[in-house]
Amino acid sequence: MPGERARVIVMNSALGPLDYRVPARMPVEPGSVVVAPLGPRQLLGVAWDADRLSAEEVGDNRLRNLLGVADVPPLPAPLRRLIEWTADYYLSPLASVVRMALPSSSALEGAKLATEYRATGHVPNRLTPQRAQALERIGDRQGLVRELATIADVSDAVIRGLVKAGAIEAIEVDIDLPYPAPDPDHAPPALSAEQAAVSATLRAAVAGAAFQPFLLDGVTGSGKTETYFEAVAEAIEAGRQTLVLLPEIALTEPFLKRFHARFGCEPVAWHSGLRQSQRRRAWRAIASGDAKVVVGARSALFLPYPKLGLIVVDEAHETSFKQEDGVHYHARDVAVMRGMFEGCPVVLATATPAIETRHQVALGRYAELKLPGRYGAAQMPAIQAIDLLRDPPPRGRWIAPTLTRAIDDTLGRGEQALLFLNRRGYAPLTLCRTCGHRFQCPNCTAWMVEHRLIRRLACHHCGHVMPTPRACPECKEEESLVACGPGVERIADEAAALWPDARIAIVTSDTIWSPAKAAEFVARMEHREIDIVVGTQLITKGYHFPDLTLVGVIDADLGLSGGDLRAAERSFQQIMQVAGRAGRGDKPGHVYIQTHDPAAPVMQALVSGDAESFYAAETEARQDADAPPFGRFAAIIVSSEDRDAAHDAARAIGRAAPRVEGMDVFGPAPAPLSMLRGRHRFRLLVHARRVFPVQEAIRDWLSGVDWPAKVRVAVDVDPYSF
Ligand code: ADP
Ligand code: ZN
C-alpha cells in the first residue's frame, strides 16, 4: 500500500492505532513490522487491516511518513485475528498483545551473524575475586557481554576487562543456521491397539486441516506423548508446522530427548532461558516456516507461524498456563482460539482434565479421546491414605511410621522413593521463642520463608531475601528463633536422619532453575545416583523413572485450606499427577497420602480411584454457585504504593459499577495478597452469567472513571482463584 495510509499499532500500550503515510516503494501490507515516528522518537509497530480498527481522524496534510519496514514476513492474518481476540477478551491494549508476537528489535535486522563471547581458558595475570567468580560461573557458556555478566553476577565492566585481558574472546555465531528437519519415519513406535485408534483419529484431523479441539484424556503413563507424536508426524508430512506447549521449562529437556529419539533431531525450543542469539534464530526460523516443530512455554503461542497444522497443549490442566501479569491470558484457552483462526486441530493432553475442559466435552465442542490404561506391563499404582491422627509421626517429625516402613522396604529392594510436599525452603514460618516476633516480608503480606541451604530468609512473592539472623531483631535474644512447619529442605533432613546411607535430592525451582539442571537431575535418576527425591509440584509432571516405585505425599491437606472453589479440584489433580510418577516401569507402584481427614471427598476419590463421581460432585457444586464453567468471574485489581490512593480509586470504581441484570459486583475488599511488591491492592470481583457480555460492560464502566497516575488498574478475566 505505498502512497497510501497505513493504520499502525505502535508499541506503546497507552496509545491506540495511529495513521501514517507509506512512502513510495516501501513494501507495507497488513502485518508488516514497521518503524514509525512518534514525536521526536521512533517506535516499532505493526501495520494493521485498516477496516478492523478505528484511529483518530488525521487530515492527509498532517500525516507523517513511516520510516522503514523490517525485513521479516508480515504477521499472518490468523495471528492478527488472534491478537484482536486476545486484546478484546482479556481487556488488554492491542500493543501489549502485539508485543508478544514480535522478537526483540535485534532480530529484525537482517544480520546473519552475531557477536558473542566465551572463555578462552587463559587465566589473566590479575585475577581479582570478581574475575575468578566470573570465570568459574561462566564455565563453557557463551553469550552477549550482558548475558555473561548476568550469569556471573558481576558488572559488564568485569566481563569487558576479562576480554581485554584475553580470558574471554569474541566469536561470530551464525544466526541464520537452518534447523535440521525432523524425520517422521525416523523411529516410529509399535502402537498398542488403543494408541493406534487414537492416533488414527488425530492423523485424520491433521490431514483434514480443519479446526477441532480434542481432549486426549489418558492416565499417567498411558502413552499420550507417543500417541500425539503420530499427529506431529502427519503435520510434518503435510509440510505444516506444529506447536507443542509445555507448562514448565524444566520439562523441555526430557521432551527434547524423547522427540529426538522419535524424529531423529531436536525440535526448536522457545522459552525464557534462551540467549538473545538463540531467540533471534528461532524467531526467524518460525516466521519463515523453516521451524517445523516448536516446543515452548506459553509465550510461544503468539509467534508468527505461517502454516500451523497442529497445536498440542501437554499437561493441559496445569495452572502455570495462566499468565498472572501483563496480559492475563490462559494459554490453554488461547491455544484453542488460535486453532480456530488457523483452521487446525488442537490437542489438550492430560490425565486430570480441568472441569472447564470436561464441560466443553459434555457440550460436544471438544472431542474426547481416551487411553484408559498404562502402556505395556505397567499398572496404575495402589493409593492408600495414612490417617495422621491414628498413625502420627514422632513429635517434630513429618514422616508417619507406615510411610517410614514402606520407604525401608523400597530402599531394601533397591528401588527409588519420592516424597512430595508443595513447599519450598526449610520452614514456612520463623518466629522468636522469647518474644513471639515473626519475620514478615517488608513488601508483601507474606511470611519470610527460611531457606537453610543458602542461609537466607526469602519472600516467595517478591523475591526479597535477607540473611537468617542469629538473634531476634525485636528482643535481641540469641539462639531463640524456631522454624515452624516443614518445607522440602526439612523433609530432606528428616529423611537423611532416617536413612543415613540414602542419596537424597531436593527438586524445587531453587535447585532446578534451568533446562540444563533438569537434564542433570534426570541423568542422576536414570543412573541410579539418587535413592530418595524430595520435591515440590515441579516433580509431579512429565517425568518417567521406571525404578521409582514409592510416592509419599507428606501433607495432602495443604492445598485444601483457603476455601477457594477450585481447591479440591487442584488437590486432586496435583496428587494424581504425583501418584502418576510411581510404578511406571514393570515394577508395581505404591502411593501413600498423609492426611488429617481421610473421609474428605477428595481423599476418598484418590483412594478409590473413582474420579468420575468426584468430578460430578465438584461440577454440581460449581453449578450451584454459578461458578465457571457455568457463570463467569472477572477481577479488577486496583493497586498503588499509596494505600489511601488505591482504596479511594477502588471505591470510586465500585460506586460507578453498572447496575444491570446478569452481572453483580462485589467489593472493593483487600485483595487476597493485600500487599505485593510494595503495592497495596484492592479487588472488585465481577460475577456474571455465561452469556453476559462482561468485557463490554467492564470496558464501558472503567472508561467512565478516572484515577490518579500512581494508581494502576488491572483486569483479570477468568481469574484462577475466585
Ligand atoms: P503419558 O504421556 O501418558 O504419561 P508416556 O507417553 O510418557 O505417557 O508413556 C509412558 C512410557 O511408555 C514412556 O516411557 C513411553 O516411552 C512408553 N511408551 C508409550 N507408548 C509406547 C509405545 N507404543 N511403544 C514403546 N514405548 C511406549
Ligand atoms: Zn515479598
pLDDT, residue 217, reads: 96
Range of the domain at 139: 113-174
Establish if 421 belongs to a structural domain: yes
Whether residues 612 and 499 share a domain: the answer is yes
Establish if 416 belongs to a structural domain: yes
Higher-pLDDT residue of 585 and 193 is: 193
Whether residues 324 and 225 share a domain: the answer is yes
Whether residues 699 and 600 share a domain: the answer is no
Is ligand 1 within 6 A of the CB of residue 223?
yes
Give mean pLDDT, residues 682-691.
94
Q: pLDDT-derived band of residue 251, with 50, 70 and 90 as boundaries?
A: confident
Cis peptide before 668 (omega within 30 of 0): yes
Residue with the three cell numbers 471427598: 601
Establish if 170 belongs to a structural domain: yes
**pLDDT exceeds cutoff 90 at 592:** yes
Taking only the tens place, the pLDDT of each residue in 212-247 is 999 999 988 899 999 999 999 999 999 999 999 999
Taking only the tens place, the pLDDT of each residue in 625-647 is 899 999 999 999 999 999 999 99
- Specify the CATH number for the domain of residue 71: 3.40.1440
Name 698's Cβ contacts closer than 8 Å, sequence gap at least 6.
Answer: 91, 634, 636, 686, 715
**One-letter identity of residue 646:** A
- Specify the CATH number for the domain of residue 592: 3.40.50.300
Return the percentage of the chain with pLDDT > 70, whole number: 98
pLDDT, residue 1, reads: 58
Residue nearest to atom 5 of ligand 1 (CA): 223
Q: What is the full DSSP assignment across 459-503?
A: -TTT--EEEPPSB-TTT--BT-EEEES--HHHHHHHHHHH-TTS-
Q: What is the position in ligand 1's atom list of the atom closest to the CA of 224? A: 3
**pLDDT exceeds cutoff 90 at 562:** no
Whether residues 693 and 591 share a domain: the answer is no
pLDDT, residue 221, reads: 87
Provide the mean pLDDT of the chain. Answer: 92
Q: What is the ipTM of this complex?
A: 0.96
Whether residues 566 and 694 share a domain: the answer is no
pLDDT, residue 336, reads: 98
Whether residues 494 and 564 share a domain: the answer is yes
**pLDDT exceeds cutoff 70 at 107:** no
- Which of 60, 82, 104 lies at the terminal end of a domain, its last residue? 82
Higher-pLDDT residue of 319 and 174 is: 319
Establish if 531 belongs to a structural domain: yes
Establish if 94 belongs to a structural domain: no
Q: What is the full DSSP assignment across 344-366?
A: -EEEEEESS--HHHHHHHHTTSS
Whether residues 638 and 570 share a domain: the answer is no
Whether residues 615 and 641 share a domain: the answer is no
- Which of 351, 371, 391 lies at the terminal end of a domain, its last residue? 371
Is ligand 1 within 6 A of the CB of residue 31?
no
Whether residues 534 and 396 share a domain: the answer is yes
Whether residues 567 and 641 share a domain: the answer is no
Q: How far apart are CA 587 and CA 546, in angstroms?
A: 8
pLDDT, residue 220, reads: 86
Q: How far apart are CA 587 and CA 197, in angstroms?
A: 27
Return the percentage of the chain with pLDDT > 90, whole number: 69
Q: How far apart are CA 216 and CA 202, in angstroms?
A: 10
Is ligand 1 within 6 A of the CB of residue 254?
no
Residue nearest to atom 6 of ligand 1 (CA): 223
Of 645, 650, 696, 692, the C-alpha closest to 669 is 650
Taking only the tens place, the pLDDT of each residue in 113-132 is 778 898 888 888 888 888 88
- Which of 82, 104, 125 lies at the terminal end of a domain, its last residue? 82
Taking only the tens place, the pLDDT of each residue in 329-369 is 999 999 999 999 999 999 999 999 999 999 999 999 999 99
Higher-pLDDT residue of 692 and 379 is: 692
Establish if 510 belongs to a structural domain: yes
Whether residues 639 and 690 share a domain: the answer is yes
Whether residues 512 and 551 share a domain: the answer is yes
Is ligand 1 within 6 A of the CB of residue 222?
yes
> What is the total count of domains within the chain?
5
Name 673's Cβ contacts closer than 8 Å, sequence gap at least 6.
Answer: 444, 445, 446, 461, 681
Q: pLDDT-derived band of residue 200, with 50, 70 and 90 as boundaries?
A: very high
Is ligand 1 within 6 A of the CB of residue 541?
no
**pLDDT exceeds cutoff 90 at 171:** no
193-197 long-range contacts (CB < 8 A, ≥24 apart) are: 194/222, 194/370, 194/371, 194/372, 194/373, 195/223, 195/226, 195/227, 195/371, 195/375
**pLDDT exceeds cutoff 90 at 444:** yes
- Specify the CATH number for the domain of residue 138: 1.10.10
- Rounded to the nearest whole angstrom, what is the distance from the C-alpha of residue 466 to the centroid of ligand 2? 11
Taking only the tens place, the pLDDT of each residue in 43-79 is 999 999 989 988 887 888 889 999 999 988 999 999 9
pLDDT, residue 118, reads: 86
Of 409, 408, 593, the C-alpha closest to 499 is 408
Contact by Cβ (8 Å): 451, 510: yes
Q: How far apart are CA 531 and CA 386, in angstroms?
A: 22
- Rounded to the nearest whole angstrom, what is the distance from the C-alpha of residue 275 to the centroid of ligand 1? 32
pLDDT, residue 36, reads: 95
Is ligand 1 within 6 A of the CB of residue 226?
yes
**pLDDT exceeds cutoff 90 at 410:** yes
Is ligand 1 within 6 A of the CB of residue 221?
yes
**pLDDT exceeds cutoff 80 at 710:** yes
Establish if 286 belongs to a structural domain: yes
Q: What is the position in ligand 1's atom list of the atom closest to the CA of 351? A: 3
pTM here is 0.91
> Is 432 annotated for ligand binding?
yes
Establish if 439 belongs to a structural domain: no
Residue of 195, 222, 225 to test ligand 1 pocket, by largest number of atoms within 8 Å of CB:
225
> Range with the lowest mean pLDDT among 143-157, 191-205, 613-627?
143-157
